Amino acid sequence: MKKKVLSMFLASVMALSIVACGSSNGGSDTQTGTDTAAQQDNATETEAQAEPETASELVDGKFAETRKITVEIYDRGNDGGSDPENNMYTEYIKKGMLEEHNVEVTFKKVPRWTEVDDINNLLAAGEAPDICVTYSYPTVLTYAQMGGVIDLADYVDAYKADLPNLWNWLGEQNIYWDKDPKTGSIWAIEGRRAEQQRIVTFVRQDWLDKLNMKAPTTTQEFEDMLIAFRDNADTLLGKDASKMVPFSTSYDVGWRTANIITSFMDPKITDKEYYINGFDDRMVTQASTKEAVKLLNKWYNEDLIWKDFALYGSGDTTEDDMIKAGYVGAFQHNWDYVFRNGEDSINANLKRNVGEDAKFVPVDCFQNSEGKYAKWLYSSAGDRKIFFPTTNTEPLASLLYVDFISKPETIKYLQAGDEGVTHEVLDSGAIQIIAATGDAIQNSGKNIDYTITCNGTNFGDEKLAALSLAYGYAEADPELVSQADVISRTDGIEPVNVNVGEITAEAGVGDTLSSKRDQIYDNAVVAAEADFDSTWDSYMSDYLSAGGQAIMDERAEKWAEYFGDADMLP
């Protein structure tokens, strides 16, 4: 009955928010009046239905009676991949949880590329998995405000002795990352990034060789290289010259050209400025971003950027297919992107489709005003957000799952699999990943869709991970992997965690603003050069009026409340 009541409540609030925001993706704005009263009533019900169990509930870490939980798993739709709900890794988890904790686990797949929409719908219907994972904290916050998310503050502390792996791996930094400084609420636990690398620029080494050119080391040299690719399409592609794409990007310009955008930023940007303008990690409202995009607009109008980049959304394979076919000269992407997916990796495909010498190599060429190759890194904390909907009636069993996932042995198995099947051990002791088949295929790099508290190479041992990083990609050249790793961290900047509690303006607008952000970038890049300023300003005005300005204003107020006149945090 309570599940039904909560489902009706969430669905009602979603309906109201859709009317208010004009978008089915919007969620709800801050609630007032009667909505607040309903929220308080629902919160009272939530508190009554889920209170921490006593430690005596467990005997040697196990429940006396079998508990059952459901866990979200991303479905990436990989051709030839394994079933995300049933494979070698899910069986390992299910067996381990049953043996160690007497908890039966069922996985529930959610499409990766529409995960926010799908989780929204599942939450509103009261059908969300007991353990949910998202990259979008505003989504968590929206439902927390509706009374639809369990406050984990009491649970993680009360069960600390039963969660040694979770606390050892994440520590207070990640567990308390989102803890409200006033209320003490914890709506989500943040996963930990074992790797902080983000974006690298890749260029075709074989094309450089054919044109007798060196790898670019400056922005101007990079532009000159793109022009050379364009002007020598016949030499480089022969009968396919019309398919030449000197530089490729996607609709997600803010991510895919991040190193270019960062190179335009003030090297002395303050923590305050970066935070106030930093709701969107694509840096669309940072002061210098417009100038960076103006350069991309120039390149686009000079036929240096893929003309159709804005037409294909998330999850579409058109760009990857074009890159693998050998038509693209350069692009920016996740630091290890060309090495992922073994025999189906970009470089492996180029070798088959174009020739033995065809490959992308990492380069560093976008310098800021101080001559540094500055790049924003991931924080070592603050990754995916793990949260429990209030329809979860097994919070302790769910936390034991998160603890099991955080065990060194579990992380190692999920990342490395079985020796001889998914990896080999080298003489140095390093783990070398090899191509897998069938249900041993990992649908995500390093199996991060299962290691939800760990993003990046770890193998349960940081020294072993460092030793093995270059060998973590089947069919990839370890030397190139090492080069990409080094370049991705050169002159890296790690953002600080600014915790000022809830920013109410952020709730319910995440999807809407992400969509409008992409519209700013995409339309500004493809505009005629004479129309660039007016296009940028028009779309930015729409973004700000849709909630962006309110977020920045509230962030500025909260900064002043907690940090006064300070520009930098210790």
33-85 pLDDT per residue, tens: 333 333 334 444 444 445 665 555 899 999 999 999 999 999 999 889 999 99
The pLDDT of residue 296 is above 90: yes
- As a whole number of angstroms, the distance between CA 122 and CA 118 comes to 6
Three-state SS across 159-220? CHHHCHHHHHHHHHHHHCCCCCCCCCCCCCEEEEECCCCCEEEEEEHHHHHHCCCCCCCCHH
pLDDT of residue 507: 87
**Residue 466 to residue 485: CA distance in whole angstroms:** 11
Predicted confidence (pLDDT) at residue 198 exceeds the cutoff of 90: yes
Q: Is the confidence at residue 12, as pLDDT, over 50? A: no
Task: Give per-residue pLDDT as tens, 462-486.
Answer: 999 999 999 999 999 999 999 999 9
Q: Which pLDDT score, from 0 to 100, does residue 508 have?
A: 85
Residue 271, both tokens:
């923590």
- Indicate the pairing of strand 360-363 with strand 199-204: antiparallel
pLDDT at 511: 87
- Which residue has 């500004």 as its token pair? 524
Cα end-to-end span (Å), the chain: 49
Nearest Cα neighbor of 397 from 3, 57, 165, 169 is 57
Backbone φ/ψ region at 501: left (φ over 0), alpha (ψ -120 to 50), beta? left
What count of other Cβ atoms lies within 10 Å of the Cβ of residue 316?
13
Nearest Cα to Cα of residue 368 among 251, 477, 491, 548: 491
Instruction: Give the model's pLDDT for residue 380.
Output: 78
Contact of 196 with 379, CB cutoff 8 Å = yes
Average pLDDT, the chain: 91
Q: What is the pLDDT of residues 382-406, one digit of tens each?
A: 789 999 999 999 999 999 999 999 9
pTM, 2 dp: 0.85
The structural domains of the chain, ordered by start, are: 2-194+394-410 (3.40.190), 199-376+495-563 (3.40.190.10)
**Position 345 pLDDT exceeds 70:** yes
In this predicted structure, which of 19-23, 375-379, 419-423, 455-459 has the lowest mean pLDDT?
Answer: 19-23
